Amino acid sequence: MLLTNDKTIRRALRSILDKELVRYRKQGHDAQIIEELGVQHGTARIDIAIVNGFMHGYEIKSDCDTLERLPEQIEEFNAVFDKLTLVVGKRHLYQAMHIVPDWWGVTIAKVDVDKGVFFQTIREAEINQNQKGISIARLLWRSEALSILERQNEATGVRSKPREFVYERLASVLDTDTLKKQVSSLLISREGWRSDVPLLSGGD
């Protein structure tokens, strides 16, 4: 059996998602594909995320990877994304199916000498019912979250506080659907990704 690895799966998956992104933008919608999007202040990273007012995360576990961190990642990702899909090598399929929740999508990645990496959908992703507003708010830089609070006239008392106070206030002020729309819009409009640089260097 030819084994998949992260690099080959990522390249093939990104090629497919890039085509979907082009079609979506041609329809007049804003959207972005983000690789290595940090959640929970960067304690976990989703391999690829599509953000278009709706957040769909794709986590890759190739034949050459292990599933050791997957349970922890599931907990972190469940709090943030609208949909989640595990893209897994054939070697780990059986074990992975017993680890991920039933509502996660599962796609198997196989490799062929002639065709390269190709994908087979085992299960379509369903809508996540476990999102948490505070975890979604943490996708923002502190300055972005504070800006939203300023527009809502809800920034009093948190302007000089650590970022977690800002995120808690934001999650309490906006309902989850409104918060997701605001966060999605800001992620799409950001320039100069990587997403984690301000978080790690300046606390924003």
In tens digits, the chain (204 residues) has pLDDT values of 689 999 999 999 999 999 999 998 888 889 999 999 999 888 899 999 999 889 999 999 999 999 999 999 999 999 999 999 999 999 999 999 999 999 999 999 999 888 789 999 999 999 999 899 999 999 999 999 999 999 999 999 999 999 999 999 999 999 999 999 999 999 998 876 544 443 333 333
Residue 186 tokens read as 């800001």
The whole-angstrom separation of Cα 52 and Cα 146 is 22
pLDDT at 132: 95
Residue 53 tokens read as 């007012």
How far is the CA of 50 from the CAs of 32, 109, 130, in angstroms?
Answer: 6, 19, 19
The whole-angstrom separation of Cα 139 and Cα 193 is 13
pLDDT at 53: 85
Q: Please state the pTM of the whole predicted model.
A: 0.90
